[in-house]
A and B are shown apart, each in its own frame.
Chain A
Amino acid sequence: MAENSDNDYWEANLGLIKICLVIWALVSFGFGIVLRPLLSGISVGGTDLGFWFAQQGSILVFLALIFFYAWRMNKLDRDYGVEE
């Protein structure tokens, strides 16, 4: 039984990691680099949105992601009774 619940906990964790990493890649490699031309129509302070993501936006999203993950995982730890 404990074995099963540990597996479910790990699966839930992997799901959360996947979502976070998709966002991580989207804002940096996506908006900041590869998709920048698509965002070139949206101007931000003398340049475009992609430039803002490359120099500042991605850093702010990274911060939000780490705190979101920590908060969700600590909740998951309690839900599955695996906290310290």
Chain B
Amino acid sequence: MDQFTLNLLFVGASFALYIGIAIWARAGSTSEFYAAGRGVHPITNGMATAADWMSAASFLSMAGLIAFVGYDNSAYLMGWTGGYVLLALLLAPYLRKFGKFTVPEFIGDRFYSPTARLVAVICLIVASVTYVIGQMTGVGVAFGRFLEVDNTTGLLIGAVVVFAYAVFGGMKGVTYTQVAQYIVLITAYTIPAVFISLQLTGNPIPALGLFGDHVASGEPLLARLDQIVAELGFSTYTERQTDLLNMVLFTLSLMIGTAGLPHVIMRFFTVPRVADARWSAGWALVFIALLYLTAPAVGAMARMNITDQMWPNGTSGDAVTLEQVETDPAYDWMANWQKTGLLALEDKNGDGMIQYYNDKSAALQERATAAGWTGNELTINNDILVLANPEIANLPGWVIGLIAAGGLAAALSTAAGLLLAISSAVSHDLFKGQLTPDMSEKSELLTARIAMAVAIAVATYLGINPPGFAAQTVALAFGLAASSIFPALMMGIFSKRINDKGAVAGMLVGLGVTLVYIFLHKGWLFIPDTNSFTDADPLLLGIKSTSFGAVGAMLNFATAILVSRSTEEPPQEIQDLVASVRIPRGAGAAIDH
């Protein structure tokens, strides 16, 4: 059986499983659509939250960013897990006690203002649409590879599938489908990592293998990796290259953003009790950590394997010959990925060999000139690394099929969940709640579908020329959520003094400044070539646009406090509401408006 058929088989079987579970679970529990997670054990809920949370960015993109950059991108690891500490300590139990279903509802009630609710809806939509653009980038990579078409075609096919998936939509409410998706994606991520860890370090646990010894050389794996990438002129793997300020702000943006993303927060509104909201965040992080502890090992080991393949005679010897790449089955993955346009080989100096090195490194100029190299001859898109990883390591065909299924599970579940969050914000919070309160249920549903179609069209269009790799685009979405939603929620709980004017001003300043800063560096509305600055030479104090979310959050806090201090106190009943949110006693079931 060829690889293409095998991939189709795995992807098809996993989809059949999700749909089967959805039909089976739905038959008994249509009425529980809104209350997903009610009466579900915190461990099961944690697994479902993990599936909802881990997207194409975590699954496909993150390990690649770590592999080709090294230590600096540990920010993704710390940021996307550290946010759960903020969620568990600062938001989840109180939002559960409050007992409504959506983030704009909480903000609208706490700040006793329809304007605040409207602004929260806008913040939510801006952050979620940016997030979907990142997902679509990942969807394009996954579909492109497994259908063996170019990236853009893959993206368009993926968009149709995501749309269909989200419209059949009830799946979001079906916790067990997400549990199945979690199991598929974690298995798909772990199995190849275990094989590769055994090959390279002899340790079956990738997280331990990363800090173990490289079998072939007998040296510690990371020391060996540092040495070979340095010989090719790349920056060393374990040293910091980014400046301290950007790394700290970037990590902080990702953490605050995690705690400000509506589709994650929503899961904690509906657990049975306040105590469960505290446990659920912990269980979600357990299941997320299983992937996140493996990811840095996947990155480092893949970098090692690629470098070894390109330099079979060692990094100081001759590079791999073009003939070997074309005829040796170990190099088949390169031909496969060339079809997607995300990997390119070019024998620039015509010496019949493929030199993979950093042609911008001054230290390597001498060697390059002496050996007649005229530039780097292999370009790899970071986002393909996780999917290509089993092929690079020559693992059996079924492992490759499995990872295709896992990547699609990660991208589709999150993209569909986000589209549902956007469509419910538009139809429920915006139209039904604000503009046309007497709208019929039928036209509410229609509005939701239209909102979904518009969101996916925008995301697909921008996904063809994305502002960055999948995880980088997603990082921008986190910056936007960090600067707008998290501060409003936190101040709503921890301060009785913040009033409606303060919260609205804070959100507008936080979101506005962050959005403008991002557009100045990534192009207005992310349209290429409309930017005035680049992240290599940023506008303010060297702060990159991906790191700016933390600054936006601080501006939000400062504005809200200043404006509230200089205007009147919130009314007594709102202060009583805040007092009651802080105490678990008397929490009823969550209620919808």
A interface with B by C-beta (< 8 Å): 6, 9-10, 13, 17, 20-21, 24, 28-29, 32-34, 36, 44-48, 51-52, 54-56, 58-60, 62-63, 65-67, 69-70, 73-74, 77, 81-84
Q: How far is the CA of A81 from the CA of B74 in the complex (A)?
A: 42
Closest 7 A/B residue pairs (Cβ): A46-B220, A45-B211, A46-B223, A54-B74, A46-B222, A70-B278, A66-B282
Q: Are A24 and B85 in contact (CB under 8 A)?
A: yes
Check B275 against A84 for contact (C-beta < 8 Å): yes
A33-B248, A46-B220, A47-B222 are contacts. A55–B84 as well, Cβ < 8 Å? no
Q: State in angstroms the CA–CA spacing of A46 and B274 once bound together.
A: 44
Q: Chain A contacts of B274 at CB under 8 A?
A: 77, 84
Q: Which of B220, B226, B278, B296 has the most CB of A within 10 A?
A: B278
- Candidates B82, B207, B238; contact of A58 at CB < 8 Å: B82
Beyond contacts A55-B210, A66-B84: 18 other A-B pairs, Cβ-Cβ < 8 A, are: A6-B583, A20-B85, A24-B82, A32-B78, A36-B240, A45-B220, A45-B221, A46-B211, A46-B222, A46-B223, A47-B211, A54-B71, A56-B293, A58-B77, A66-B85, A70-B281, A84-B274, A84-B584
Q: How does the 8 Å CB contact mask read for B224-268 relative to A, with 1 for contact and 0 for none?
A: 101000000000001010001001100110010000000000000
Tell me the B536-582 residues at the A interface (CB within 8 Å).
579, 582
Partner of B582, one of A10, A21, A70: A10
Q: Which residues of B contact A6 (CB under 8 A)?
A: 579, 582-583
Cβ contact within 8 Å between B211 and A44: yes
Q: Assuming the A-B contacts A34-B248, A45-B210, are A70 and B85 also in contact, with contact meaning beta carbons closer than 8 angstroms in the complex?
A: no
Complex interface: chain B residues within 8 A of A56 (CB):
77, 207, 210, 293, 296
Query: Contact at B296–A55, with CB atoms within 8 Å?
Result: yes
Contact A59 to B211, CB < 8 A, known contacts A46-B224, A54-B77, A77-B275: no
Chain A nearest CB, measured from B93 CB (Å): 7
Q: 1/0 per residue B267-296: CB within 8 Å of A? A: 000000111001101100110010011001
A83–B244 contact, CB under 8 A? no
Contact of B275 with A55 in the complex, beta carbons under 8 Å: no
Cα distance A79–B244 in the bound complex, in angstroms: 43
A interface, over-half SS: helix
With a 10 A CB-CB cut-off, give which of A20, A29, A33, A65 has the most chain B CB atoms.
Answer: A33
Residues in chain A near residue B275, CB distance under 8 A? 70, 73-74, 77, 83-84
Complex Cα spacing A74 to B89, Å: 13
Interchain nearest-CB distance for B40 vs A (Å): 17
Decide: B282 and A45 in contact? CB cutoff 8 A.
no
Instruction: Give bound CA distance, A13 to B77, whole Å.
Output: 28
Residues of chain B in range 371-407 having any CB-CB distance to chain A below 8 Å: none
| B364 at the binding interface (Cβ < 8 Å) | no
Q: CA separation between A69 and B587, bound complex, in Å? A: 20
Of the residues B222, B226, B282, contact of A63 by C-beta under 8 Å: B282
| 5 contacting pairs across A/B (C-beta < 8 A) | A9-B583, A32-B74, A56-B210, A70-B279, A82-B583
Out of A32, A66, A73, which one reaches B285, CB within 8 Å? Answer: A66
**What chain A residues lie within 8 Å of B223 (beta carbons)?**
46-47
Residues of B within 8 A of A66 (CB): 84-85, 88-89, 278, 281-282, 285
Contacts of B32 in A (CB 8 A): none
Given contacts A33-B244, A77-B584, A84-B584, contact A62 B238 (CB under 8 A): no
Closest chain A CB from B90 CB (angstroms): 7
In the assembled complex, how far is the CB of residue B300 from the closest CB belonging to chain A, in whole angstroms?
A: 9
Within the complex, the shortest CB–CB distance from B291 to chain A, in Å, comes to: 10
Cα separation A9 to B203 with both chains bound (whole Å): 48
| Chain A hits for B89, CB < 8 A | 17, 20-21, 66, 69
Instruction: Scan residues 45-98 of chain B and give those whose CB is less than 8 A from a CB of chain A.
Output: 71, 74, 77-78, 81-82, 84-85, 88-90, 93
Residues of B within 8 A of A73 (CB): 93, 275, 278
List residues of chain B with CB within 8 A of the CB of A69.
88-89, 278
In this assembly, does B593 line the interface, its C-beta being within 8 Å of a C-beta of chain A? no
Indicate if B219 sits at the interface (CB-CB under 8 A): yes
The answer to whether A84 and B77 have CB atoms under 8 Å apart is no
**What distance in Å separates the Cβ of B84 from its nearest Cβ neighbour in chain A?**
7
**Chain A residues positioned under 8 Å from B207 (CB to CB):** 56
B89 — nearest CB in chain A belongs to which residue? A17
List the B residue with the shortest CB-CB distance to A24.
Answer: B85
By the criterion CB–CB under 8 Å, are B82 and A45 in contact? no
Contact in complex: A65, B85 (CB < 8 Å):
yes
A47 to chain B, nearest CB (A): 4
Instruction: State whether the Cβ of B212 lies closer than 8 Å to any Cβ in chain A.
Output: yes
A21 to B490, alpha carbons, bound, how many Å? 14
Chain B residues with CB under 8 A of A74: 275, 278
* Inter-subunit contact B81/A17 (CB<8 Å): no
Whole-angstrom CA separation of A77 from B221 in the bound complex? 48
Alpha-carbon distance A29/B286, docked complex (angstroms)? 21
* In the bound complex, CA of A56 to CA of B212 (Å): 14
Q: Which residue of A lies closest to B83 (CB)?
A: A62
Interface: B28 (CB within 8 A)? no
**Smallest Cβ-Cβ distance to A70: which chain B residue:** B278
Nearest opposing residue in chain A for B278, CB measure: A70
The answer to whether B74 and A84 have CB atoms under 8 Å apart is: no
- Cβ-defined contact, B74 with A63, below 8 A: no
Q: Measured between alpha carbons, how far is A5 from B285 in the docked complex, in Å?
A: 32
For B442, the chain A residues whose CB sits under 8 A away are none
Contact indicator A46/B281 (Cβ below 8 Å): no
A83-B71 in contact (CB<8A): no
The verdict on A17 contacting B90 (CB below 8 Å), with A51-B71, A62-B85 known, is: yes
Give bound CA distance, A58 to B84, whole Å: 12
Instruction: State A69–B279 Cα separation when bound (angstroms).
Output: 9
CA distance A77 to B279 in the complex (A): 14
Cα A48 to Cα B240 with chains together (Å): 12
